[in-house]
Copies of this chain bind each other. A is one copy, B any other.
Amino acid sequence: MIEKLIATIQERYAFSEEDANMLRARMTETLEFKPGDIIVPEGEEISYSSLLVEGFSCRSKYTTEGSRQIMQFNIPGDFVDLHSYPLEVLDHSITALTDCRIVKLQHRDITQIIDSNPRLGRILWFATMVDASMHREWLVCFGARAGAMRVAHLFCEMFYRLQVVGLTQGKSYRFPITQADLAQALGFTTIHVNRMLRELRDEGLATFRSKEVEIPDLKALEGRADFDPAYLYLEPRHQ
């Protein structure tokens, strides 16, 4: 399982076999989490980064009024807190949405890896910048895309991301979250999310039932969502 993921990352980020081995050797320790568990707590000094190998988690923050904003969903293959290496302390938490398994990579190992192979450092840096790019696209969604469009955009994003790691089945994929989670991610109320889902369903563009998203015609949904996958930087790199 972890091998398959390393292979995927290897291809996507143009890893050499040597690079992959270097990582492999240092990534053996795993941790497991239950839904609702905090994988990485906000505000604490962190000494290792976590590669999510199984399950779904999310980045989120709470406001002082108690409402929670989800800023990103993490899927298998994501380094959920690689940015804790440069930042040391995170501004937000990572929370498990399902049963999750992560593999640790100690920060001191990252330092060592980068010292001996600066090119790999740039690749790791790249990975964190893709997250930033997603944040920016979400900001566009929040500021300039309303209602069903916003929901549709998220469904497209998740499709592309999950496809890369082989977690789509034809026109559908498993998205193991509740409508309440969805609402916290989209900046809507649960009720409104429900209505927007119905709208997409009625339009025949997408269904979300029993934690499964089905998209009969991806291009059509992309059109509805004003979606362009460029910001995900999925094309293989060539540095």
Binding site for B on A (CB under 8 A): 43, 59, 61, 63-65, 67-69, 71, 83, 85-88, 91-92, 111, 114-115, 118, 121-123, 125-126, 128-133, 135-140, 142-145, 184, 186-187, 226, 230-231, 233, 237, 239
Please, which residue of chain B has its CB at the minimum distance from the CB of A64?
B226
Q: Which residues of B contact A123 (CB under 8 A)?
A: 86
Contact A143 B187 (CB under 8 A): yes
Other than A61-B136, A114-B122, A143-B187, give 4 A-B pairs with Cβ distance below 8 A: A67-B144, A69-B143, A92-B136, A131-B132
Q: Which residues of B contact A114 (CB under 8 A)?
A: 118, 121-122
Q: Which residues of B contact A129 (CB under 8 A)?
A: 83, 86-87, 128, 132
A12 CB to nearest B CB, Å: 14
Q: Which residues of B contact A71 (CB under 8 A)?
A: 136, 139-140
